[in-house]
Amino acid sequence: MESLLANKVRAMLTMLGIIIGVGAVITMTAIGQGAKKAVNDQIVSMGTNVLTVYPGASFAGGASFGAGSSNKLTEDDAKAVKRSNLLTAVAPVASTQVQAIAGNLNWSTRITGTSPEYLNVRNWRLTAGSNFTESDVRAGSKVCILGASVVKNLFPDGNSPVGTTIRIKKLPFIVLGVLEEKGTNSFGTDQDDIILAPVSTVMKKITGTTFINAIIASAITPEATFPATDEITEIVRTSHRLGQSEDNDFQVRSQTELAASADESSNTMTSLLRNAAIISLLVGGIGIMNIMLVTVTERTREIGIRKALGAKRTNILTQFLVEAMVLSLVGGILGVSLGYGASALISSSNGWTLFVSPLATALSFAAAAAVGVFFGFYPAQKAARLDPIESLRYE
């Protein structure tokens, strides 16, 4: 400690590489884990264990016109899917873009025709009013529920829209409720820019179609997602009267696939950030080795005197190895503080959600100690091998 304190500036500059390296590892990992958590939270906001049935692709002359070009999904398909014991809720979806008018204000948004179970599938609550009912779906009632973004643009005065009437395609719709705010999803789409209405009303009076855009369902558990996918596939194939040799004219996708894809992307980003930070840690280790080699040269006479007084190789080796470890461990402690401070600063200044992993902190600190041992061993060994007579004569 006396040796290190005698050269405070040198010791601090030597530790700087370790400090920056450890701080960078913690901060980069926090950013990566925070991004992963944010994406997972957005996926969860889209619903619980969600499965979606999309229309398939149509072909002409061997060319595919893309997913959704062969739409044969109907309300009857949705009713058939409801018979599955692996699902808790099923809702048809028929969407289109409309111009909503309230008083002298108007807003372009999308209206989604669905059933009352849509809120259960999407794990969506109401902040005011109530949901429409199956009776409204059967009767084709002109009632609706507004998303938060629609409310902000059509009712900027802050008054509750529940009970008021808005016009959609010149038709009057009574507002029954207001959805809680969900924000944007992982694709950057504003989930709150939406109007929900009975599917029968939307199909008969707005879109004028007999087909729906999709069917969404919620599996009873995350583990049931895969068997539910297979069961839905069989149900819809039967409903569409497809033979064994015929390809599906639809596709079933699970939220699990989306979550896995998002996890893979987040893990890749976290790995890249962490590897960049580890390089900084290695550079810090090289700095320790460099300074320790200079220290050994400067203290050659001291080493010779200690050996002349009976110090063994292990004593000299331990002395310089401990000095290198002290540099790296103190640098590690300061680096951990820097990492936590930088993470908090980035989180508060940018509004990002960062997650500082205790495991990453422990591993960073352990890596700092390992760097001290690894890069300090060669200079310490070089000091231990010095000839005492030559060392005493060294100028």
pLDDT band at 22; cut points 50, 70, 90: confident
Contact assessment for residue 303 and residue 315, using Cβ atoms and an 8 Å cutoff: no
Domain check: are 154 and 201 in the same one?
yes
Domain check: are 291 and 168 in the same one?
no
DSSP-assigned beta bridge partners for residue 174: 143, 165
Domain check: are 156 and 301 in the same one?
no
Domain check: are 242 and 180 in the same one?
yes
Distance between CA atoms of 252 and 5, rounded to whole angstroms? 67
Q: Which domain holds residue 343?
A: 2-42+260-392
pLDDT of 66 over the 60 cut? no
pLDDT band at 65; cut points 50, 70, 90: very low
Domain check: are 371 and 289 in the same one?
yes
The proportion of the chain whose per-residue pLDDT surpasses 70, expressed as a percent, equals: 85
Report yes or no on 253 lying in a domain: no
Q: CB neighbours (10 Å) of residue 8?
A: 9
pLDDT of residue 212: 93
Helix (H, G, I), strand (E, B) or coil at 392: helix
Helix axes 358-384, 255-298, angle to 10 degrees: 30
Q: Say which residues have a Cβ less than 8 Å from residue 310's Cβ, sequence separation at least 6.
A: none
Contact assessment for residue 214 and residue 203, using Cβ atoms and an 8 Å cutoff: no
Q: Which residue has the higher pLDDT, 358 or 107?
A: 107
Report yes or no on 138 lying in a domain: yes
Average pLDDT over residues 16-30: 81
pLDDT of 135 over the 90 cut? yes
CA dihedral 296, 297, 302, 304 (to 10 degrees): 100
pLDDT of 348 over the 70 cut? yes
pLDDT of residue 69: 47
Helix (H) or strand (E) holding 52: strand 50-60
Q: CB neighbours (10 Å) of residue 117?
A: 21
Distance between CA atoms of 359 and 246, rounded to whole angstroms? 51
Give me the number of domains the chain comprises: 2
Report yes or no on 342 lying in a domain: yes
Domain check: are 235 and 366 in the same one?
no
Report yes or no on 67 lying in a domain: no
CB environment 347-364: b (16+ within 10 A), e (fewer): beeeeeebbbbeebbebb
Give Cα 175 distance to the centre of its chain: 35
Domain check: are 235 and 267 in the same one?
no
The radius of gyration of the chain's CA atoms, rounded to the nearest angstrom, is 33
Domain stop point among 221, 248, 275 = 248
Domain check: are 223 and 268 in the same one?
no
Domain check: are 114 and 134 in the same one?
yes
pLDDT of 36 over the 60 cut? yes
Domain stop point among 194, 220, 248 = 248
Residue 164, Cβ density class (10 Å: 0-12 exposed, 13-18 middle, ≥19 buried): middle
Tokens 């004569």 — which residue? 393
Handedness of CA 53, 58, 62, 63 (dihedral sign): negative
pLDDT of residue 141: 95
pLDDT of 104 over the 70 cut? yes
Domain check: are 349 and 379 in the same one?
yes
Contact assessment for residue 45 and residue 191, using Cβ atoms and an 8 Å cutoff: yes
Average pLDDT over residues 315-336: 84
pLDDT of residue 61: 47
CA dihedral 159, 162, 166, 172 (to 10 degrees): -160
Report yes or no on 379 lying in a domain: yes
Domain check: are 201 and 265 in the same one?
no
Q: What are phi and psi of 251, to 5 degrees?
A: -145, 145
DSSP-assigned beta bridge partners for residue 129: 177
pLDDT of residue 146: 96
Handedness of CA 223, 46, 144, 169 (dihedral sign): negative
Distance between CA atoms of 382 and 190, rounded to whole angstroms? 64
Contact assessment for residue 376 and residue 323, using Cβ atoms and an 8 Å cutoff: yes
Distance between CA atoms of 207 and 191, rounded to whole angstroms? 21
Report yes or no on 254 lying in a domain: no
Helix (H, G, I), strand (E, B) or coil at 31: helix
Report yes or no on 357 lying in a domain: yes
Domain stop point among 213, 228, 248 = 248
pLDDT of residue 91: 94
Report yes or no on 336 lying in a domain: yes
Domain check: are 38 and 83 in the same one?
no
